[in-house]
Amino acid sequence: FFNMSIGVSTLELADATSKAMGARCSLDDILTIWHSIGGVVKQALAQKKGVKLSAFGTFTLSTKGDPLFVVSNTFATTFKLKQRSFGNPGNLPVSSLNLVQLSKSTELARELVDKIYTKFVSRIGKAVSEGRHVLVTIHRVAEINIDEGYISCDFNENFLQFLRKGV
């Protein structure tokens, strides 16, 4: 028996973000922005580059070429999280999530994209601090699972196949 009341999905996080931002943006805008992050991460990892999601963590590749999500020290410390073992990160160039790129792909102003991203990540933190089980989807790439003081990342099988073909 799975108790859904303790879990928080990406949709619920987006809804909470939308309510917190008031009339400035719709739930659709927030989901569009959050889902477009998956495309950015997929493209970067295919090019053997990492992507830092500010205040949350970094997507990179291991020394073996497998994808990894490494939670940021700040997020882990603030919310007292331990990361399940993930392998050794390779020495890839890492760049911050390009908000201008997200803005262009979503046709929303860069400032609004920044505010939505920041508020969404703060909503993840709020749910974690309430002791809730949080499942964050990075569209077509991975699911980040935060529960009982641990954070882990499961990569989508289609994404893993996509990366293997590029190698």
Q: Is the pLDDT of residue 4 over 90?
A: no
Rounded to whole angstroms, the Cα distance separating 17 from 30 reads 8
At 2 the pLDDT is 46
Q: Is the pLDDT of residue 167 over 70?
A: no
Residue 88's pLDDT band, with cuts at 50, 70 and 90, is confident
pLDDT tens, position by position, 18-36? 999 987 789 999 999 999 9
Neighbouring C-alpha atoms within 13 Å toward the C-beta of 142:
22
Tokens at residue 92, please? 């890839």
At 25 the pLDDT is 86
At 123 the pLDDT is 96
Task: Of 62, 70, 69, 55, give the one whose Cα is nearest residue 92.
Answer: 62
At 44 the pLDDT is 95
DSSP letter, residue 49: -
pTM, 2 dp? 0.91
At 84 the pLDDT is 79
Question: How far is residue 152 CA from its own chain's centroid?
Answer: 12
Q: Is the pLDDT of residue 111 over 90?
A: yes
Q: Is the pLDDT of residue 118 over 60?
A: yes
Q: Is the pLDDT of residue 63 over 80?
A: yes
At 66 the pLDDT is 93
Q: Is the pLDDT of residue 5 over 50?
A: no
Span 38-52, mean pLDDT?
95
Which residue type sits at 3? N
Q: 3-state DSSP call for residue 63?
A: coil
